[in-house]
Amino acid sequence: MEELSWGSIIARMFMQLGPVWISLIVLFTISITYKRKLGLYGKLFDSTIGMIGFALVMFWVFVGIFGGPLDMLVTHDPLSQVSGMKNKVPGTPMRGAEEGEYAYFLLGGDNLARDVFSRLIKGAWIVVQIAPIATLFAFMVGITLGLPAGYYGGRLDTVLSFLANLILAFPVILLFYLLVTPEIVLTGIPNYMALFLFVFPLIFMCILLNSRYYTQPKIRTPLLIGVLGGLGWLYLSLVSTNGSVVATPTYSIPGLPSFLDLFDIDAGILVVFVSVVFVNSPTVFRIVRGLAMDIKTRDYVAAAQTRGEGPWYIMLWEILPNARGPLIVDFCLRIGYTTILLGTLGFFGLGLASESPDWGSTINAGRRLLALYPHAAIAPAVALLTLVLGLNLLADGLREESLRD
């Protein structure tokens, strides 16, 4: 068999990504048809920039979902090495392809003779999973601490702001190099940080519901028990591995027993996740604090105070909804920034295992042979670039549309 030309490589990739195109078209048709009923999300479809951004982001989200848990788009196993395919250029036919196997390496082979295209798609799933969740956790931490700091001010604000500035003054890479190492994982510090950082969504939901419904105990009590029970279970499953919360060679703190544990998180991924949340939350804190300080002078806050509402009700049900515009925009931008941070970690070979298909690690593996075989590093680099660009354009579109009303 002959090598494929660039035209047929693109055509074949287009075919291979079929389910993604179909989902994108369905999503866009539905959204554009009902855009007047969909609030801010619908308004996004009035701005070209926002639509392009949204399309880029959703493209990678669909690629991640179809390629990751559904295992559809990939042509080869992302980890298996195929003899004779080392550093082969894009479109090389597979040597000795058997019946039922895909006959080409669409984007070539990397320096360990693995299929670049399949790794790209598997990597998308890792990024699409970690980046938004980590950003969400960072927002929970930032909002839960930033609202009281901005609303109360005073000494609480001074202390929290000092801590936030302390973390912000740390060069990110130095922090990563100090935190994301196998030695630090051994000491159990990431587990303690996980215990601390992951509890914030729990606190947030608890205060949110309690401040709203505490005058109606009949609704509040079952609601709180249900929500806290569910979230608490998730929280305990998240932080405990093999029946212990912190396990070091010398001691361990018991956690949820294994039979109740819903899922385990690999120690390498946990430390990456925790440090990304840790780096992002001070910035969110500063934004939320600034917004809260601005909004607390408004008349509707004064009205709520006169009505005798509690401080947490005012913060979470008066200030927070009115700060949503800038927060949503920042959320999009921050997912992009988190993606960049994840790539940085991969680029320095920190945290994730070296055979992990995530884009940062793949760029790191490919950069050594960049002068001779650039395709292995360029494919993930372009993927990361388009995803982050999409998120930035999406944020820009959202900002424009939310400013309009």
Partner 1 sequence: MGLFILRRLGVMLLTALCLTFIVFWLTNLYPNLEKLAKTQGNFRMSDEAVASYLDKNGYLQPMPIKFGQWLGVLPGWVHEADGVVTGRCFPADTPVEERSSYCGVLQGDWGVSTVFKDEVGTIVATRLALTGKLMFAVMLVMVPMALIVGVLAGMREGSKLDRSLSTFSIASTATPEYVSGVIFIAVFASSAFGLKWFKGSATSAMENATFENFTLPVITISLYGMGYIARMTRASMTEVMTAQYIRTARLKGVKFSDIVLKHALRNALIAPFTVIMLQFPWLLNGVVIVETLFNYKGFGWLLVQAASNNDIELLLAVSVVSVFVVLVTQLISDIGYVYLNPRIRIA
Longest CA–CA span in the chain (Å) reads 80
With tokens 């930033």, the residue in question is: 146
Q: Terminus-to-terminus CA distance in the chain, angstroms?
A: 59
* Residue 382 tokens, joined: 């372009």
Contacts of 91 (CB under 8 A, 6+ apart): 3, 4, 5, 6, 8, 9, 104, 105, 106, 108
Does 371 engage in binding with partner 1 (CB under 8 A)?
yes
Q: Tell whether residue 169 is a contact of partner 1 (CB under 8 A).
A: yes
Token pair for 303:
């009205």
Judged by CB under 8 A, the stretch of 13-21, 167-175, 257-265, 324-332 that binds partner 1 is 167-175
Q: How far is the CB of 316 from partner 1 (least distance, A)?
A: 30
Q: Of residues 60, 347, 351, 352, which one binds partner 1 by CB under 8 A? A: 347
Return the residues of window 5-34 that contact partner 1 according to CB under 8 A: none
If binding means CB under 8 A, how many residues of this protein chain bind partner 1?
A: 47
Q: Which is nearer to partner 1, 15 or 372 (CB)?
A: 372
If the CB atoms of residues 55 and 227 are measured against partner 1, the closer one turns out to be 55
Return contacts of 170-178, CB within 8 angstroms, 24+ apart.
172/279, 172/341, 172/344, 173/344, 173/348, 175/275, 175/278, 175/279, 176/275, 176/279, 176/344, 176/345, 176/348, 176/350, 177/348, 177/350
63 binds partner 1 (CB under 8 A): no
Of 27, 113, 186, 269, the residue at the interface with partner 1 (CB under 8 A) is: 186
The CA distance from 155 to 35, in Å, is: 46
Q: Does 372 bind partner 1 (CB under 8 A)?
A: yes
Asked if 353 touches partner 1 (CB under 8 A), the answer is no
Considering only the stretches 114-122, 214-222, 299-307, 384-392, report the one whose residues sit in contact with partner 1 under the rule CB under 8 A.
Answer: 384-392
What residues contact residue 222 under an 8 Å CB cut-off, 6+ apart?
Answer: none
Using the minimum distance from each CB to partner 1, give the nearer residue, 209 or 388.
388
Backbone angles phi and psi of 246, in degrees to 5 = -125, 125
DSSP-derived pairing of the beta strands 244-247 and 252-254: antiparallel
For residues 35 and 367, which CB has a smaller minimum distance to partner 1 in the complex? 367
Contacting positions for partner 1 (CB under 8 A): 49, 162, 165-166, 169-174, 177-179, 181, 183-184, 186-187, 189, 336, 340, 343-344, 347-348, 360, 363, 366-367, 370-375, 377-378, 381-382, 384-385, 388-389, 391-393, 396
